[in-house]
Amino acid sequence: MPGIPDFVMDGPWWWLFLALVLIVFVRTQATYWLARWARAGADAVADRAEKQDSKRARIARRFSGPGMTKAQAFTERWGWIAIPLSFLTIGIQSLVNGGAGYARMHWGRYTLAMIPGCLLWAGAYELVGFSAWRAFTTSPWVLAGSVVLVGAVVAVLVVRRRRRQAADEAQPATASAPVVEA
């Protein structure tokens, strides 16, 4: 796998698991702290912008009002459920972790909620991702079958889209011309 040292790949399975846990832990903590830093900057801008009416000041005020206070309370109460579950999604994980930082979720609670998520992510990545990587790199038949499968899915989607476009064009217009009585 690109980016993972050979001694990890050739070692026992738990080396890769620990490496993946460490990678996701560092990345997620960085997301949390970056969002928390952005919140501190937004608050500083909002404090200075009380007298200003710039676009930056309006955005800062929007992210520092009662709505953000509610978001912070929600995150403190329900973040311990949302954070670990976000690790099982694609595209939501960074939003949830960044949102926890931006809403200033207590760091200790955040980290305790994040650790099970890191373990879930590393386990899923190792079981699915590493197994697929090994299958693709050791068997040309698996790679060829995957290419054929992806090609078939793309072909089906293209045919469906063209049929839908043809049906839309063949359908008569629903707007009728006004009737003129003589």
Q: Is residue 177 part of a domain?
A: no
Q: Is residue 59 part of a domain?
A: yes
Tell me, yes or no, whether 61 and 123 share the same domain.
yes
Tell me, yes or no, whether 165 and 124 share the same domain.
no
Tokens read off for 138: 């050791």
Domain that holds residue 16: 6-138
Say which residues have a Cβ less than 8 Å from residue 153's Cβ, sequence separation at least 6: none
68, 69, 42, 67: which is closest to 56 by C-alpha?
42
Which pLDDT score, from 0 to 100, does residue 13 have? 74
Alpha carbons 26 and 24: distance in angstroms, whole number: 6
Which tens digits make up the pLDDT trace of 152-161? 999 999 999 9
Q: Is residue 178 part of a domain?
A: no
Q: Is residue 115 part of a domain?
A: yes
Tell me, yes or no, whether 108 and 154 share the same domain.
no
DSSP 14-59: HHHHHHHHHHHHHHHHHHHHHHHHHHHHHHHHHHHTTS---HHHHH
Which tens digits make up the pLDDT trace of 128-140? 877 777 777 777 8
Tokens read off for 25: 């832990």
Which tens digits make up the pLDDT trace of 30-85? 999 988 888 777 777 666 655 566 666 666 666 666 766 776 777 777 778 888 88
Tell me, yes or no, whether 49 and 21 share the same domain.
yes
Q: Rounded to two decimals, what is the model's pTM? A: 0.59
Tell me, yes or no, whether 161 and 102 share the same domain.
no
Which pLDDT score, from 0 to 100, does residue 177 have? 56
Range scoring the smallest mean pLDDT among 21-30, 37-46, 91-100:
37-46
88, 83, 89: which is closest to 107 by C-alpha?
83
